[in-house]
Amino acid sequence: MAKGKNKKDQNHSPRITNRRARRDYEVLDSFEVGIVLRGSEVKSIREGRAQISEAFAKVDPNRMELFLFNMEISAYSHAGGANGHETLAIRKLLARRRQISRLLVQSDDRGVTLIPLTLYFNERGMVKIELGVCKGKKTHDKREDIKDKFSKRDLQRAMSKRV
């Protein structure tokens, strides 16, 4: 699987990842949801002109629907003035009712947030979002992760020199 901000996969579509999410949050659970988009938004995403680093999702308990806030999709380069779209619109996410009710229960916990981890096109050409149920990390947790990463890297270097 490709990593990075805008790596392209087999069908030459970008895979936009939220690298800050895994650094700032502990991912408790993740799942795939669809998103409702207009044509010019899909074309902009195909060009890799979307940003999910500040985005988050919320469940509307009255209507049992899931919405995504603060996802920025820049204007499509070949769209005319009237054919454009709003860059920071609230977008509806598509999930099964059972998933949404489970998310509602999980998101009621204090400190739990729904954060998009990855935005990509599936094999059928549909835009999908990997949504994570995340809990915020404290500063000392981040330091521990950095220490673990460096120790694993040093161990790998030592093992490769032995061979």
- Answer yes or no: is 3 within a domain: no
pLDDT of residue 7: 52
- Answer yes or no: is 43 within a domain: yes
pLDDT beyond 90 at 11: no
Of residues 162 and 25, the one with the higher pLDDT is 25
- Answer yes or no: is 113 within a domain: yes
- Answer yes or no: is 162 within a domain: no
Task: Residue count of the chain, please give it.
Answer: 163
pLDDT beyond 60 at 5: no
Q: Is the pTM of this model over 0.85?
A: no
Domain that holds residue 49: 9-137
Least confident of 57-61, 68-72, 85-89: 85-89
- Answer yes or no: is 149 within a domain: no
Please give the tally of structural domains in the chain: 1
pLDDT of residue 19: 87
Burial of 41 (0-12, 13-18, 19+ CB in 10 A): buried
For residue range 80-129, list pLDDT tens digits in order: 665 567 778 899 999 999 999 888 888 887 778 899 999 999 998 899 99
pLDDT of residue 163: 65
pLDDT of residue 1: 42
CA distance 26 to 145: 11
pLDDT beyond 70 at 16: yes
- Answer yes or no: is 70 within a domain: yes
- What CATH number is given to the structural domain containing 78? 2.40.280.10
161: tokens are 């020199």
In the predicted model, what is the mean pLDDT of the chain? 83
**Residue type at 59 in one-letter notation:** V
Closest CA to 131 of 70, 52, 74, 48: 52
